[in-house]
Amino acid sequence: MGHPVGAAETLPLVLSGACGLAMTATVASGAAGPAAVPALAAAGAVLAGFRWPAAATVAVLLAVVAIGITDPPTVSAAVAGLAAVGYLVLRHAGTMTLPTVIAVVGFTVAGVAATAFPWSLPWLPLLAPFVVLGVCVVVAQPFLGTGR
C-alpha cells in the first residue's frame, strides 16, 4: 500500500506549492488577453507539479513566457522570480538552505537595482564570460590541490 507520508515529506511539498502559486498569481495579476493563456497554464502546471516534479520546470517556463508577453513592472517580475526559485528548489531539492536564500535575494536586489539606473552599457554583456570564469576559479580553489 505504500508508506505513510510524514510531516518531513509533506512540508516541502506544501511550501513549494505555495511558492508556485505565488509565482503564478504574480504573473497572472498583469496578464490579459493572450498573456493569460501561459499564466493559466503555469497555474495548471504548478498543480500537476504536486504529482510530477518535472511539471514544476514547465510551470516556471510558462511563467517566463507570460512575463515576456506582459512586460510587468520590475518589482513584479522580481517577486515572480523569487517565488519561482523557491518553487523549484523546494520541489526538486526538498530543502532551502541559508546560502541559497542569501544568493537568491542578493541577485534579485542587484537585478532590481540595475534596472533602476538609466545606464547604457551595450558592452557590459561581453564581460559576463570573464566574470563567470573568475567565479569558477575562486569557487574551485579549495578543490585544486597541489597534487603532492
Render pLDDT for 33-54 as a digit per residue (tens, 0 to 9). 888 899 899 999 999 998 998 9
1 pLDDT tier (thresholds 50, 70, 90): very low
Helix (H, G, I), strand (E, B) or coil at 73: coil
Q: How far, in whole angstroms, is CA 65 from its chain's centroid?
A: 14
Sign of the torsion angle spanned by Cα atoms 13, 16, 18, 24: negative
Q: Which of 79, 105, 102, 82 is nearest to 26 (CA)?
A: 79
**Poorest-confidence range of 6-20, 38-52, 55-69?**
6-20
Q: What proportions of the chain, in percent to the nearest 5, are helix, strand and coil?
A: 75, 0, 25
pLDDT at 5: 56
Mean pLDDT of the chain: 85
* Residue 74: C-alpha distances to residues 24, 30, 108, 114 (Å): 16, 12, 10, 10
Cβ neighbours of residue 95 under 8 Å, at least 6 residues apart? 12, 89
- In what helix (H) or strand (E) does residue 101 lie, and over which residues does it extend? helix 98-116
pTM of the predicted protein model: 0.74
